Amino acid sequence: MQEGRSVFSQLMDFVPRYEFDKCVDRYGGDKHVRRLSCYGQFQIMGFAQLTYRESLRDIEACLKAVGPKLYHTGIRRPVPRSTLAEANEKRDWRIFGDFARVLIAQATRLYADEPFGADLQGVAYALDSTTIDLCLALFPWAKFRKTKAAVKMHTLLDLRGNFPTLVVITPGKIHDVNVLDDLVFEPGAFYVMDRGYVDFGRLFRVHRTGAFFVTRAKCNFQFRRRYSAPADKAAGIRFDQTVVLGGSLSRKQYPDALRRIGYVDADTGKRLVFLTNNFTLPAIVVAQLYRCRWQVELFFKWIKQHLRIKAFYGTSDNAVKTQIWIAISMYVLIALLRKRLKLAHSPYTILQILSITLFEKTPILQALSLAPRFPQMPDDENQLYLQGF
């Protein structure tokens, strides 16, 4: 029974406190803390994400407004914005980064058998980045251009479940391809990337680990064809070739053969050319894999529209990373909630329902149900009907 407990309190039950406390102890997050613990900070910042709060003043006002209901959420008392601002500035952001990875590991296990739109039994990831624009005067540490500041969120998205398995936050001037140096590649896994990640030296490192990549060829791609396999024209495959790189420097960086696949999208008529180091998958499956890469773009769109990572509550590097990692934690927490409660609703629908029911004292499964809570009254047979004239 969840009598007397708010929806927000029940949602926080899905947070593994033991793992969270381990992350706090690892960095001494609660050392010499008297008013706001790291878990309290996580709760308040999570509340801000779920209810679309725009500023620290906004958070403070809303917490005061709910009054007696606040205790039933698990948040003991309203927190002054100065206390929350200090916590965001000084608490090590790695506490929340490590905890987000704990949630991601749980989600990975739950979504291991989830279909994702390609006829593939193995693990597949989409790699991309998104730029979050900032004001240079307020965020001078994130210099991007002469008059602009920005940070980049490099994300490795698990295509089974569409949740991030790795997030790297860098200043905006760091090129996307550099993140390949920080990844640990899984043998047998597929990594789907756009043309911005075509660096043959780095791709050869992926190849040597036993992992597979799927990307698009650049317009100036130089190669020599060794062999052409039969192509399924009806499926949109134009050619399926085994090639070696043509340039001397490129051939030195990637001395092995590559597979080059031409594809015509039946819906848009667009012609695409893919490069991969996998020679066993059917060509149409390679095309399907690249189509699934669009899920990472949808993830960026979703998290920018529905979580607070465009309006930041602090201006320091630590405050920005803390807010981004807590936003990612709430996204993954919703994915865990959806799977464990066997909900058919999309994450967007769940987030919208949570945003207006957090303080209701009702079972969370009932709150997230779209079915009517009260039985409909039967039609009265004696009801008179108005006739039109």
Band of pLDDT at residue 384, cut at 50, 70 and 90: very low
**What residues pair up with 192 in beta bridges, in sequence order?**
126, 214
| pLDDT attached to residue 17 | 92
| pLDDT attached to residue 275 | 95
Using alpha carbons, select from 201, 291, 298 the residue that is nearest to residue 252: 201
- Cβ pair 264, 283 in contact under 8 A: no
- The pLDDT > 70 percentage for the chain reads 91
What is the rounded distance in angstroms from the CA atom of residue 206 to the CA atom of residue 189?
A: 10
Q: What is the mean pLDDT of the chain?
A: 85
Band of pLDDT at residue 300, cut at 50, 70 and 90: confident
Where do the structural domains in the chain lie, given as residue ranges? 7-94+315-367, 194-280
Task: Name the H helices within the chain.
Answer: 7-12, 17-27, 38-50, 56-66, 81-90, 94-110, 200-208, 248-253, 283-292, 294-306, 317-340, 347-357, 364-367
Which of 1-5, 94-98, 360-364 is least confident?
1-5
Tell me the pLDDT tens digit for each residue of 240-291. Answer: 999 999 888 888 999 999 999 999 988 888 899 999 999 999 999 999 999 8
What is the rounded distance in angstroms from the CA atom of residue 339 to the CA atom of residue 302?
A: 19
What is the rounded distance in angstroms from the CA atom of residue 187 to the CA atom of residue 108?
A: 17
Using alpha carbons, select from 86, 80, 88, 40 the residue that is nearest to residue 60: 80
Q: What's the start-to-end Cα distance of the chain, in Å?
A: 55
pTM: 0.79
What is the rounded distance in angstroms from the CA atom of residue 139 to the CA atom of residue 134?
A: 7
Residue with structure tokens 């779209």? 370
- Cβ pair 378, 355 in contact under 8 A: no
What is the rounded distance in angstroms from the CA atom of residue 138 to the CA atom of residue 150?
A: 11
Band of pLDDT at residue 20, cut at 50, 70 and 90: very high
Q: Is the pLDDT of residue 108 over 90?
A: no
**What residues pair up with 151 in beta bridges, in sequence order?**
132, 171
- Cβ pair 95, 29 in contact under 8 A: yes
- Cβ pair 289, 117 in contact under 8 A: no
Question: What is the signed CA dihedral for 93, 99, 102, 108, rounded to 10 degrees?
Answer: -70
Tell me the pLDDT tens digit for each residue of 65-95. Answer: 877 777 667 677 778 889 999 999 989 999 9
Tell me the pLDDT tens digit for each residue of 170-187. Answer: 888 888 899 999 889 999
| pLDDT attached to residue 372 | 44
